[in-house]
Structure 1
Amino acid sequence: MAHRIGIAGITGRMGQLLAEEIPAAGATLSGGTSRGSAGRTTPAGVRSFPDLPALAAASDVVIDFTNAATAQTHAAAMAASAKPWVLGSSGLSGADEAAVEAAAARIPVVYAANFSAGVNLVLALAERMGAALPANAYDAEIMEMHHRQKVDAPSGTAVGLGRAVAKGRGVGLEEVMESGRHGHTGPRRTGAIGFAALRGGQVVGEHTLIFASATEHIALTHRAFDRRAFATGAVRAALWAVSQPPRLYSMMDVLGMA
């Protein structure tokens, strides 16, 4: 029997793609929730649910690409449902992530900054490069660009890259992060990981990690041309999550790279 996958935010950009990718993967689209924004409606023939608990009750797993403002309430609802949760919302605060971790004590949760297989390979390389290139000799800078509608900065993927570099260097990102430099900032702090966020047009997502020393520069770049790569990965994560025990997982776990 095909697994039933529900979509929280089915009328959003990602929700619409997920509604196409779920049946393409041989699963059943159980339905979705929607705020009905921007005049978008639930796809024809797809069941609309009034809230997340109702959707979870009719699904084997729920994919959630809503927004950070829903993270804590959705974490509580999914934990109470006892159903796996695939979370792709970005811009989560420390309190939001704590709520996600609490839910993962009761259900399988796949939480990722990016569900693209290519990005996750880049994250793995970023950690190894962070470990191999010492912070006192190689300055790490992360530049990202997204469409003009994106509401959070730096992007979740950019933060994920920063965390990977910091992990490789044995530090926490919050200790070394420098974002949004402006004015007379003084010299660059040794060991800092810098971020620059660009917004414009309809760029799906571009991320570049640069390691700069006095003698060489190394750049690692990923460009996404279609959001479908994220939807395909999220559906893969959902189908994987249904057979996992409660725990907080990343896309690295799904890909067998953890």
Structure 2
Amino acid sequence: MAISAPTPSVHRVAVAGASGRMGHMLIEAIRAADDCRLAGALDLPSSPAIGNDASAFLGHASGVPVTADVREGLSDVDVLIDFTRPEGTLAHLAACRELGVGAVIGTTGFSDAQKAQIAEVARDVPIVMAPNMSVGVNVMLRLLETAAQALASGYDIEVIEAHHRHKVDAPSGTALKMGEVIAEAVGRDLRQCAVYAREGITGERDPSTIGFSTIRGGDIVGDHTVLFAGTGERIEITHRSSSRATYAQGSLRAVRFLAGRSSGLFDMFDVLGLRP
């Protein structure tokens, strides 16, 4: 008698900001994944998509309406993916905590106090939070850690990032994460050594600082370069995103990582097995 293989579990996923650019990319990625199903779609009450099928932009009926009612949108969900704004994400997380729903957070711009709130929620539900869900960016973070340790002396460190004209926070959360990784690797506190602006007579560069430069324009998805400038040579480590699809695929890897976990705060190093 033949024994059939067990049916793989399907992850029921909700998307916050469902009618935005990233929301559309996430919904498309979920539809294409064999092991994920769209089970909820959230957006602001003012969104014209409210009440419409969340997959209508694909010419496909998912049966999931876009709603501004967070509890309704999370009523049959395992994990919420949220790439919205800090205040919105925190409101969504409060509902996740009540309903026992995990979360994958790609939102950036959180204050230290808000990050502490997220850590508190993670005592009750599992959360993956990362400023960038791209697999390539997280591999780059690992490379930066190694490079910074080797180039801690005699090299000036600059982080240059570029994003589209609609991005509201600067520097990007990814650029700040790169700075944090580098600062920790060389034994510095980024809060004390970061330089975010230069204008006028600035004097010579302090070699202990980490500089940040921000570019905003057009439809740039996301470019990040870290420059290690020494005497007689420069090392540049660069990642360029040409599509938000990479963030969506990384988010689904995070969804799968959370399966079976009841609590805890994780990042993409945990998801990708990059933790030293």
Task: Tell me the TM-score normalized by structure 2.
Answer: 0.88
Choose which of 91, 94, 99 in structure 2 pairs with 1:81. Answer: 99
The DSSP-based 3-state class of the residue aligned with 1:145 is strand
Distance (whole Å) between structure 2 residues aligned to residue 90 and residue 231 of structure 1: 15
- 1:127-166 equivalences under 5 Å are 127-134=145-152, 136-166=153-183
Deviation of 1:161 after TM superposition, in Å, equals 0.8
After superposing the two structures, state which structure 1 stretch, 164-173 or 50-59, moved more. Answer: 50-59
Q: Which residue of 2 aligns with 1:35?
A: 44
Amino acid at match of 1:13: R
Counterpart code for 1:143: I
Q: Is the 8 A contact 2:148 2:186 kept in 1?
A: yes
Which residue in the other structure is 1:6 paired with?
14
Could you say which residue in structure 2 is the equivalent of 1:98? 116
Question: Aligned-pair distance for 1:224?
Answer: 0.5
Amino acid aligned to 2:42: T
Superposition deviation, residue 37 in structure 1? 5.6
Provide closer, same or farther for how the CA distance between residues 171 and 246 of structure 1 changes in structure 2, counting only shifts above 3 A: farther
CA distance in 1, matches of 2:219, 2:246: 16
How much has 1:36 moved relative to structure 2?
5.8
215, 218, 228: which is aligned to 1:198?
215
More moved, 11-20 vs 186-195: 186-195
- State the superposition RMSD in angstroms: 1.7
Contact 1:71 1:100 in 2 (8 A): no
Q: How many residues align?
A: 257
Note if contact 1:144-1:208 (Cα within 8 Å) is conserved in structure 2: yes
1:75-105: per-residue Cα shift (whole Å, max 9, x none)?
3222222221100001111111111111111
Distance 2:33 2:12 in 1: 11
**Per-residue Cα deviation, 1:49-91 (whole angstroms, up to 9, x for no partner):** 3333332332011101111232332332222222211000011
- Pick which of 241-250 and 102-111 moved more: 241-250
**Partners in 1 of 2:220 and 2:68 — Cα distance?**
32
Measure the CA separation in 2 of the matches of 1:222 and 1:193: 18
State the partner residue of 1:208: 225
CA distance in 1: counterparts of 2:175 and 2:80, whole angstroms:
25
Q: Name the structure, 1 or 2, with higher relative contact order (CA <8 Å, separation 6+).
A: 1
Q: Secondary structure at the match of 1:109?
A: strand
SS of the residue aligned with 1:126?
Answer: helix
Quote the Cα distance in structure 2 between the aligned partners of 1:68 and 1:189: 33
Gaps of 5+ in 2: 1-8
Residue by residue over 1:174-208, the C-alpha shift from the partner in whole angstroms, topping out at 9 and shown as x without a partner, is 12111122222222222111000001111111110
Decide which structure has the larger Cα Rg and report it: 2
Q: Which deviates more, 39-48 or 193-202?
A: 39-48
Separation (CA, whole Å) in 2 of partners of 1:23 and 1:38: 22
In the alignment, what sits opposite 1:239? 256
- State the match for 2:23 in structure 1: 15
Contact 2:122/2:265, CA 8 A, preserved across alignment: yes
Runs of 5+ in structure 1 lacking a partner?
Answer: none
1:115 counterpart residue number: 133
Residue 30 of structure 1 contacts residue 47 of structure 1 at CA under 8 Å; is this kept in 2?
A: no
